[in-house]
Chain A
Amino acid sequence: AQSVTQLDSQVPVFEEAPVELRCNYSSSVSVYLFWYVQYPNQGLQLLLKYLSGSTLVKGINGFEAEFNKSQTSFHLRKPSVHISDTAEYFCAVSSLSGGSYIPTFGRGTSLIVHP
């Protein structure tokens, strides 16, 4: 079985400050990892994904994430946030479980960017 833990339910930060949103997962097999963003009144949009290869993954809107196998983490970072980054962020893990790669989602982290 696989699971995802997003350690922070809410992260407030000032505009132009750096931010890190934490994600830890558990799985007994190789995994694929994803971050999705959900803006108010919208569906989820894929930010970035890790499949294999380089552990540092770059995504849209200046976000990046680093896969750390030993710590089973996939934290999302941005060096300088904008007001427009205010949204809900979801980490998801996918592994071959029961013949399917259906992902498991975390509970989400609300990023609140203050002016």
Chain B
Amino acid sequence: ETGVTQTPRHLVMGMTNKKSLKCEQHLGHNAMYWYKQSAKKPLELMFVYNFKEQTENNSVPSRFSPECPNSSHLFLHLHTLQPEDSALYLCASSQDWNPGTDGYTFGSGTRLTVV
């Protein structure tokens, strides 16, 4: 078990559903991230939070809505998704918002399938 826990591990949802992904880190890190991983594509950075404040939003469609109530928890709220949104969604954390030297600690991901 890593220090970053993601739930659920698998999620199947219809295009009209609303669901949320949860991420929790037990490492005392101050920065948390959402990444999208699609087959044979580079990891796509979606959102960055530093001390609960969003510092980066990589032109993500509004059907993805992040929430960071505290430095340990990160949510990704999903609504009216498209089939092309099916992917592995990874949460990561780092000591501070510049993970340049420490790198990331990743969770195991949520495998999302939109039908």
CB atoms of A94 and B99 under 8 A apart: yes
Query: Which of the residues A42, A46, A95 comes within 8 Å of B103, measured between beta carbons?
Result: A46
Q: Contacts of B100 on A, CB cut-off 8 Å?
A: 32, 94-96, 101, 103
Q: How many A-B residue pairs have CB under 8 A?
A: 63
Verify if A44 is at the interface (C-beta below 8 Å from B): yes
Query: Which applies to chain B's interface (DSSP): helix, strand, loop or mixed?
Result: loop
Contacts A100-B98, A102-B56, A106-B42 given; does A43 touch B2 at CB 8 Å: yes
Is A43 touching B109 in the complex (CB atoms < 8 A)? Answer: yes
Total A residues in contact with B, Cβ cutoff 8 Å: 27
Residues of A within 8 A of B (CB): 4, 9, 32, 34, 36, 41-46, 49, 51, 90, 92, 94-96, 100-108
**Chain B interface (Cβ < 8 Å from any Cβ of A):** 2, 4, 6, 40-43, 45, 48, 56, 90, 92, 97-101, 103-109, 111
